[in-house]
Each structure stands twice: as C-alpha cells, then as structure tokens.
Amino acid sequence: MDYNVIKNNQPQSIQWSGPQPATAAELFAAAGLPKKGPEKPLAARVGGVIVDLLAVVAPGSDVEPVDCRDPEALDILRHSVSHVMAEAVVKLFPGVKVAIGPSIEEGFYYDFDSPTAFTPDDLDKISAEMTKIVNESQLFIREEISAAEAVERFKALNEPYKVEIIEDLIKSGESQVSFYRCGDFVDLCRGPHIADTSFGSAFKLLSVAGAYWRGDEKRPMLQRIYGTAFFSAKELRVYLELLEEAKKRDHRKLGKELELFSVHEEIGGGLVVWHPKGALLRTILEEFERHEHLRRGYDVVMGPQILRSELWKKSGHLDYYSENMYFTEIDGSSYAIKPMNCLSHMFIYNSKLRSYRDLPLRLFELGTVQRHEKSGVLHGLTRVRQFTQDDSHIFCTPSQVGDEIKNVLHLVTDMMATFDFKFDMELSTRPAKSIGTDEDWEMATNALKGALESLNAPFEINEGDGAFYGPKIDIKLKDALGRSWQCGTVQCDFTLPERFDLNFTDADNQKKRPVMLHRTIFGSLERFIGILIEHYAGAFPVWLAPVQVKLLTVTQRADELANKFALELKKKGFRVEIDLRNEKLGYKIREARLAKIPFLLVFGDQEVQTSTAMVRLRSSDETEAMSLEAFSDLLRQQAKIPSWN
C-alpha cells in the first residue's frame, strides 16, 4: 500500500497516495499503528473532519489517527456507549421506543418511551447486558440512505420519535440521512463512532429522570437514563469518587442543613425563599460588590421591574427572547417584566445630552429579573425563575472600548481571586438569530478578541453562541472539584445604541454613537451563591460566613461572661450567635461544627475566673485560652476580605 507518514505531526498524519480508495482502518494497519494501548486508533480525522475507521478515504487525502488522547475522543466514546445502552434496553425491554441519546459534558444519556418506570434493579440489568455487548466487540456499521427510505424503515420498526426527527430533516431540505447498526440495534445518527464496542468497558449508569420529548411540556414525558464512560477503569473510579464528593457538597442539601434558603412547590418552582442566614450571606456579597464597583468608577442605579412591551419590541427582545419573558397588562397597555436590566440604563444615558468628556459612563445595578424557565431545567439556586444580576452597562466611545473591556477582565480576575476561583474564557460569536450589521458584528468581535490578546489571556472560540445583539466573552469558573460554571460575561453591542438613538457630542462637535458594553461579574447572585456553597462545602471563609463566632457555655455560671463577650463582639461588627442551653458541651460543639461556624468560644468555670474564652476552630480540636481583646484582634485579622488586604 502506497502511503507517506509525516512524522513531525503528533499524532502522526498519513498522506494517502495510493491509486485505490481504502478505509482508514486499512491505512492505519498498513502504517503499523498500534493495535492496543492508548495509541490504538478509534477513529480518523480526514481533512479536519472526524470519521469512522471504516470510512473510505480517497487517494490524496491526509489522514490522522484519533486515539483516546485526542480532545474529541471522549465525546465520541460517550456517544457510542449511549448507543450500547440503547441496544441493551431494547433487548431487555421489548416494546420500548427510543428517542435521542447524545453525549454531554459529564457523560451521556438516552431518552426512552417505556410503559413502566425504570428501577435501580433495571439499571443493574441494563449494565450487565451492556458489558456483554462490550465484550462481543460489536462493530459500529454506518449506512447512508435516502431520508424517505429511512422514514419507512423506522415506521416498520415502530419508532415514532425517529420518524419525527427524519421528517423534520426532510422539511429542512435534507435528502440523505445516516444511521448506525450495532449488533441488532439500528439508530439514526450522524456519527462518528468508535470502531467497536470493546472501547467502552469503563462505564457506569448513574440515574433515571423524567424528560419531555424535545423539552416541550406538552409532549410525552420520557425516561432519561444518565451514564458516563471513560477510556480506563481508573479514570472512571476517580470520576465516581468526585461524584460522591459533589453529592456531599450539593448546595440544595447544604442550603437546608445550614438554613440558608428553601424552595417550595406551594410558592412555585424556581422561586427562592431566603432564610436569615442566607439573606445575610447575600447582603455580604452585595456590599462587597458595591464597594468594588464604586472604587472602580461605577455609578449605582436602579430600574423598574416592568417596562412597556413596545420597548422590548424596539430592543429586539420580543422577537428573539419572548419565550423567556412574562407579560402583564395595565390600563389596556402591555407590559413585560424585565428579563434584563439594559433598557432602563439606556434611558438613564439618554436623560441628558452627553459629551465625549462624560464617557465612559459606567452604570451598575443589582437588578432582580424574571425569566420563564421550563420546569424540567430548574435546579436549586443554579437555575431559577427570579434572580438578581450584578449587571452593568458601560457607555463609551469606540476608542475607549478596548480599555473598558480590559478593565472588566481585570475586575473579574481580582474578584474571582477573592474566592480562590480559577476561570476559563470563551469568545462567543454571532448566532443565526441576531440583529445588527455584519460590519458592527465584526467590529464588536474584534474589540473583544483584541482585548483578550492584549492581555495574553487564553481563550477559546465558541462559534455562534453570542447574544442576539452582540458577541461576548463568557467567564467559566473552576470550583474546588474542577467543575466548570458559566457566570460572568462581557458583551460588546453596537446595535442597541443605534435602536435607541444614543448619542454623544465628540471633540469635533459632531454627534456620534457610543458603544454599549453589557457585563456581569458573578452573573446571577443565586447561581453564584449555589456555586460558592459547593466550592467551600458550606465552610465559608470568615469574612463571608453568616455566623463568624458561636459562644457555648458549659454551665449557667458562665452565662454572664458569655453574654459580655457576645455584646462586645457585636459592637465591633462581628456576626455572633450564643448558645446558653442546658445541654452537654459535646452536643453543642457537634451542632456548631455541622453549622460550619468558623470560631467556637467555650465558657466554663475556669474561663469565668480568668475572664477568658477557650477558642477552637471548626476544623480542629486544639483550643487556646484568649482574652476578649486578643480574640477580637484575631477575628479582625481573619475576617478581612482578601482583596482588601
């Protein structure tokens, strides 16, 4: 077989120059690529596109092996294992209809229409059957047929969900479709897939949940089985251990245990009730944010909760975002409850004539917004229907855009360091549904990209995921478990200033359009607090803890001294609780530790005699006798906000 191996690429690329077409598998075999181990090819990349190993490669093509080290390999594996799971389910539960089964960030899922609910025992049976399929090394065989023929095939298989998908593809102009056969299971799929099922031995089925077909609450409720897969048993074991730790840190569980917040179906899904400690935690974060923004030249503003619907039409939200909005009527006029804060800020800008000397104008609002989220996506604090954004809109001249974006990124860096957060950044470009000219989008995208590059900040391009009015940089936090969370954003907008006729007078006395930067740092406060709870496992740093000190008495004879300490600490601005109950000290200490309170002060007869407190940390059994003054100094040092030191 005639081929050339380009050895300076990693992994090596094969330049196919033979006279006849050959499969990628044949090509790799002839090139002597490994048949086992981490370098064993599981797919191929031809002309930058990943294809199956059984795909035929035309002469003259450059072919690159894709093995388990490739960034896209895990996605291919998990998608393939979802097919293995579907094959097992169809075999074990005749009559079950299959819907869709993609890979997702943490694994995969598949949706099934089953007359009976899957149980934990069923998951065990499915897992056992999947292991049999894996051990059989079944090939993934791709076929392409006309869409019309595919409809008839899946009708014959009594698979209505597949038929619906194909009919929608036909409506969108598709004439050919592909499907994959694995054993006796046939699935509509674009691929690619691993070469055979033997790659998929390290998997675990995790849970079952309900999911509406196509996310539509008016469509059938399906059963979604979640799972995950890795290329090695070790990687799977590490992930499952991480998953167990994540369960312990679940903010919904800790939120209840620490008395921070609650959500009640009687009130409504996605509507959070903040308890005293949770509301105090919010207040501390809000004060921190106001301080950080005021010292960086922002003006604090507030806008109304509802605005006339015609304004949302003018902005484009009615055309591009109305399914996420709530509406009401007043005196025969339609109003919308705001899903964003930008409109009010534009009216503040337009409340007077602006000169270039007035810019940049930075308006900051902790603005509560409402969004119509579907019930199936609601999740604790991280996906709610009412939340508060740390929203800002910066109005600046075109020449100021780069510096203002960099200032925002500096603010993000400083504030995330306060919480020990690392973060990644993505530059999201123009989506299919959008407003504005190509020229404006190009300028906005280049402004964001230029700011990132000037700071030497690493970033990835996220094609087509910008806001409908402009491109954006998304901030993705990394928590203590290495999980990624979407929070802050900075968006560059040339369009809304045009629609709302925003102007400033330039140095040449000519009217010019300002550029509008939309940005958040934490994003949703609710979401950010949920992330913080899990990041710290509920054990907040001293400056952030709703209760910083708890005072415990051993005997009633110590009550007076404990009350004296409590009163003086409160006067100094510390957050204090006192427990004078007639309970055993060990019980009181356990309670305080479960509440994750940073400092415990214990008072007994000896402390009364010496006017001291026995001080212990929540994380240690060691104690130290300290006077009120000495402990106050210690607490003052511990309670400093890191970024203010």
Rounded mean pLDDT of 198-212?
93
- pLDDT-derived band at 543, boundaries 50, 70, 90: very high
Amino acid at 613: A
- If asked whether residues 90 and 231 sit together in one domain, one would say yes
Query: Where do we find the tokens 């799972």?
Result: 227
- pLDDT-derived band at 21, boundaries 50, 70, 90: confident
- Residues in Cβ contact with 452 at an 8 Å cutoff, skipping those fewer than 6 apart: 409, 425, 427, 459, 473
Residues labelled as active-site residues: 342, 371, 389, 391, 393, 472, 518
- pLDDT-derived band at 9, boundaries 50, 70, 90: very low
3-state helix, strand, coil in the chain (%, to 5): 40, 30, 35
CA angle, 266 as apex, 264 and 267 as ends, to 5°?
70
Point out the least confidently predicted range of 493-497, 514-518, 552-556: 493-497
- Looking up residue 417, the CATH number of its domain turns out to be 3.30.930.10
Residue 315, pLDDT above cutoff 70:
yes
Which tops the pLDDT comparison, 16 or 388?
388
Q: Sort 498 into a burial class: Cβ within 10 Å, 0-12 / 13-18 / 19+.
A: middle
What is the pTM (predicted TM-score) of this model?
Answer: 0.84
CA atoms within 13 A on the CB side of 491: 24
Output the CA–CA distances (angstroms, integers) from residue 391 to 290, 319, 489, 490, 491, in the order listed: 11, 22, 10, 10, 12
What is the total count of domains within the chain? 4
Q: Which domain-ending residue is among 37, 66, 95? A: 66
- If asked whether residues 132 and 210 sit together in one domain, one would say yes
- If asked whether residues 25 and 10 sit together in one domain, one would say yes
pLDDT of residue 440: 86
Q: Is residue 559 part of a domain?
A: yes
- If asked whether residues 432 and 577 sit together in one domain, one would say no
Q: How far is CA 472 from the centre of its chain?
A: 16
pLDDT of residue 4: 54
Question: Which structural domain range is residue 580 located in?
Answer: 549-644
CA–CA separation, 477 and 527 (whole Å): 12
Q: Is residue 333 part of a domain?
A: no
- If asked whether residues 445 and 576 sit together in one domain, one would say no
Residue 183, pLDDT above cutoff 70:
yes
pLDDT, tens digit, 9 for 90 and up, residues 237-274: 999 999 999 999 999 999 999 999 999 999 999 999 99
What count of other Cβ atoms lies within 10 Å of the Cβ of residue 255? 24
Residue 3, pLDDT above cutoff 60:
no
Q: Is residue 310 part of a domain?
A: no
pLDDT, tens digit, 9 for 90 and up, residues 475-505: 999 888 888 898 999 999 988 999 999 999 9
- If asked whether residues 470 and 568 sit together in one domain, one would say no
CA angle, 73 as apex, 67 and 78 as ends, to 5°?
130
Q: Which domain-ending residue is among 510, 535, 560? A: 535
Residue 1, pLDDT above cutoff 60:
no
pLDDT of residue 7: 42
Point out the least confidently predicted range of 7-11, 126-130, 147-151: 7-11
Rounded mean pLDDT of 443-467?
90
Q: Is residue 119 part of a domain?
A: yes
Which tops the pLDDT comparison, 15 or 184?
184
- Looking up residue 591, the CATH number of its domain turns out to be 3.40.50.800
Helix axes 276-294, 401-418, angle to 10 degrees: 140
Amino acid at 7: K
- If asked whether residues 376 and 525 sit together in one domain, one would say yes
CA–CA separation, 386 and 398 (whole Å): 34
pLDDT of residue 619: 82
* Tally: H helices and E strands in the chain: 19, 35
- pLDDT-derived band at 57, boundaries 50, 70, 90: confident
Residue 10, pLDDT above cutoff 60:
no
pLDDT of residue 35: 80
Point out the least confidently predicted range of 21-30, 354-363, 551-560: 21-30
Residue 8, pLDDT above cutoff 60:
no
Structure tokens at 593: 């530790």
Rounded mean pLDDT of 597-604?
96
- pLDDT-derived band at 37, boundaries 50, 70, 90: confident
- If asked whether residues 105 and 57 sit together in one domain, one would say no
Q: State what percent of residues in the chain have pLDDT above 90.
A: 76
Rounded mean pLDDT of 52-67?
87
